[in-house]
Chains A and B, each alone.
Chain A
Amino acid sequence: MSADKFSNPVVRWIDHRLPIFTFMDHELNEYPTPKNLNYFWNFGSLAGISLVIMIVTGIVLAMSYTPHVDYAFQSVERIMRDVNHGWLLRYIHMNGASFFFIVVFIHIFRGLYYGSYKAPRELLWILGVLILLLMMATAFMGYVLPWGQMSFWGATVITNLFSAIPLVGDSIVTLLWGGFSVDNPTLNRFFALHYLMPFLIVGVVILHLVALHRFGSNNPIGIDPSGPQDTVPFHPYYTIKDFFGLSIFLTLFAAAIFFFPNFMGHPDNYIPANPMQTPAHIVPEWYFLPFYAILRAVPDKLGGVVAMFGAIAVLFILPWLDRSPIRSGNFRPIFRIFFWVFVVDCIALGYLGGMPAEGIYVVLSRVATAWYFLHFLAILPLLSVIETPRPLPQSLSKSVLGGNAMAGVASAVKEKVR
């Protein structure tokens, strides 16, 4: 590969010294991609674009935001009323966080269904879970910044989770607070970290992409492409498909920003923080609700915290829990049913996390929490042993073009050899 493929002499001159154009051509243009990807494969690029939207709007918001307990709330109100286009920038950032999570959750469930976490993509998956963790930390600290009632009490409850750690718990909480309660030092450091962490996410996203491009995308059939007849170049085929998906995403995003900007928020966060009074019903942002439900389902402080972090920890070891060699759920008749039960279970946990912790809700939360862990720790390992998968197609081309595909024959041979 040389710089010859570029006709522009300036590009050629640069590329010879710094092969950035070759790199981009390789990874974004000619990059061979399975030709049978469905729309669930749009959500990776959507997640990347969401991250960029958050960073751009965040940096401009930071130009008018004041991280001080006496001014933070007012400075956000000033952004909403007086700063030019401030309302728009804040509503984009605020709803952007929700949309980012919607996109990432769909992206993750895509991976769960099509077995994208299986060899050789284990590290790719683990980096993804790490991104989820960093996003959660970032969003949590961002939500503290406007210093409303939910900001303050959310920060109090979440930082107090660490007090459950035996022996050192209280010292850790004091260290996080920089005082004896959530106060100005806490707000200051949360702002510093909220600014930093998205850039750490960018770093992990780059590693995620390096790992992705090592073996290329998985696909709805879950078998590897056996040659050029099974792939198409990324550009223009998937760039255009991603753009189409993006336009739909942006339409929905704009609808939320302009017509229901506070739908996913909580009205109590428009009340300035009051350290002397907890709101009657505190709930975290919607994207934390399933985890919050797990926290509350366990009647013991340390146990609840362990279960909540455990809910994410199981995702890290998932590639070793599901030992079935078949990637795609399309060919796993029993897995498929349990997958959908699991989706319902997660939605149920989200609903229960938003309800008061009393009566029937507590019982249901416990059942749903037990199921969550059962799915990963018992059902998936068991299925990998007892399930009989349906026969796999011989190649991607065959599955796309039907039984009489010419290309299918050649690749089927290769498949056998492999």
Chain B
Amino acid sequence: MAKIQTLKQGDGSPNKGRRDFIVVASYAMAGIGLASVAWPLIDQMNPAADTLALASIEVDISKIEMGQSITVKWRGKPVFIRHRTETEITSAQSVQLSDLKDPQTDDERVTNPQFLVMLGVCTHLGCVPLGQKSGDVKGEYDGWFCPCHGSHYDSSGRIRKGPAPLNLEIPPYQFASDAVIKIG
């Protein structure tokens, strides 16, 4: 109705409403056209098919002594696997959720409490935290410490102090057998 009225009122061009429609429609088409040309140019930067295909690895964990950690490479990133001691497990389990910046129970972070598997990538800006080797600084919570800007993680890999916002990420993994885990 509104349209017809504009037509009737008239401003010297009886088809103004229709013309506006055509102009807007052509701009919209041109916009869609540009966007569909731009998309392949941008999306080519995303991971290529072969990069995506490097998905999973298998790791033998039977040789890791209690209190020892190993670092393996998955998708170009370090994965920390730690055979935790009893004290580490109990201290990780006894933490109050209210004390945590990114609340998660230890149970939610492990399949088998003895083995903690997580990405060795600080959730702040991506450095590799220290704490894998026996001589390393482990931070104030006896877990891992990121030297880049000072983030402290506990024995469950949860963020306790420093600029990192989240707990160390748990990659998708499963126990293929008691001795082997499959990451990815």
Contacts and interface: CB of A to CB of B under 8 A. Distances in A.
| A and B assemble together | yes
Interface residues of B, number: 26
Interface in A149-204: 153, 156-157, 159-161, 163, 174-183, 185, 189
Contact size range, A: 20 to 34
B interface, by DSSP: helix, strand, loop or mixed?
Answer: loop
A178 B47 contact: yes
Given A178-B46, A178-B48, A278-B148, A156 B165 contact: no
Contacts of B163: 296, 299-301, 304
A262 B12 CA distance: 75
A278 B75 CA distance: 17
Contact of B127 (A156, A176, A357): A156
Contact of A157 (B46, B51, B126, B164): B126
A1 to B, nearest CB: 42
A180 B75 contact: yes
Given A156-B126, A282-B148, A189 B45 contact: yes
Nearest to B74: A180
Nearest to A282: B148
Interface string A274-285: 011110111000
A276 B78 contact: yes
B59 to A, nearest CB: 15
A157 B77 contact: no
A175 B51 contact: no
Contacts of A179: 47, 51, 75-76
B73 interface: yes
Interface in A273-331: 275-278, 280-282, 296, 299-301, 304
Interface string B132-159: 0000000000000011111000000000
B1 interface: no
Interface string A356-386: 1110000000000000000000000000000
Contact of A185 (B48, B147, B165): B48
B130 to A, nearest CB: 8
